[in-house]
Amino acid sequence: MFENGDAVGGAYVKGILKPFSSKPILSPSTEEFQQFGIKRNAFALFPNDIMHELNLGVAKNLVTYAIEMAQFYGHTSKVDRRFAQIASFGRNDIRAFPQQASGLKKLTAHDWECLLKCLIPVIEGLFNPSIEKIIIPLILKLSIVYNLAYLDQQTERTIRLLDREIGEFSRLALSLSKQAHSLSDSTRLTSPDKNMPMYAYATPKFHMLGHLTASIRRLGPLDNFTTAFGESEHRRLKRLYNVTNKTRSGTQQLGLRVQEQRAIVQQHRMIHAMSNVQEDLQRDNLGDPSYEQAFQLAMDKRQPEYC
């Protein structure tokens, strides 16, 4: 810069920083973190959150666009009927869909995942062929990215494969956006009152897909630092809320319930840590086991029977 006289905000500096999505400025967050001794890039402190960026971001955006396109072509009832015909699978892998799945109401991150898994057979044959030949491979690519990103053990081979699939998914998303715009222009000429949905891929969550592999190389598998574990505590609070009187003091009552549960857990740990508990757990009061009898009774009430 000093030798060639290039400006800080000039094209030369921007060309160097653009591949890293950086700008030649000192952000307020960087200045604040410097007083704590953090002199590197402060944005490295914020890794990818796969649940909010993938489940509630890119996957939600694509599923919503596909459902809106089906509604645009007048196939809402057909979409609901196809979703209702899909049976549940596995242990909470794919849940049963409601009768009006196209409403997309009160959905969790796992619900959006289930919608993405079953979306291809639901929307097949409902769109314009020029859109369908792009959106179905796009859904398939996102499913591949989803499975690779959620691997519990990552290797250099899986990381390179994930990086390649993200690139192919991004190119398909760009093609879908261009095709949707051109089809919307032609539709507006024949039907000015109809507004075709647009696929918006220029979002921060979509942009963060490109940083998934960097976060994995730096911090390990994405499940290590996801917010899904904290979000699962919402169920606990909702269960505890039902035992309160649902007044203004409900927050205080929830805190007391949490403290009570914590004390019970600590007490159980102390009991199981005692050496004499191991002796109580043995079946000394039952005598010698007899395999000819279906069960044996004991005199100890803590061990009433042994099957």
Looking at residue 63, what is its pLDDT?
94
* Long-range CB pairs of 135-138, under 8 A, 24+ apart, other chains included: 135/66, 135/69, 135/176, 137/172, 138/62, 138/169, 138/172, 138/173, 138/176
Listed by start position, the domains of the chain span 11-40, 50-224, 233-266
Torsion sign, CA atoms 116, 122, 128, 133: positive
Neighbours of 139 (CB within 10 A): 21
Looking at residue 17, what is its pLDDT?
81
Q: What is the pTM of this model?
A: 0.71
Name beta bridge partners: 11: none
CA dihedral 35, 37, 39, 42 (to 10 degrees): -80
Looking at residue 295, what is its pLDDT?
59
Looking at residue 306, what is its pLDDT?
46
What is the pLDDT tens value at each position of the chain, 307 positions in all? 656 767 777 788 888 888 777 777 777 777 777 777 666 666 677 788 989 999 999 999 999 999 999 998 889 999 999 999 998 888 778 888 988 899 998 898 889 999 999 999 999 999 888 888 999 999 999 999 999 999 989 999 999 999 999 999 999 999 999 888 888 877 776 677 678 888 888 888 999 898 899 999 988 998 888 888 888 877 787 888 888 887 878 788 888 888 888 899 888 888 877 755 455 444 445 556 666 666 566 555 555 444 4
Distances (CA, A) of 295 to 64, 177, 289: 58, 69, 9
Looking at residue 40, what is its pLDDT?
65
Looking at residue 298, what is its pLDDT?
56
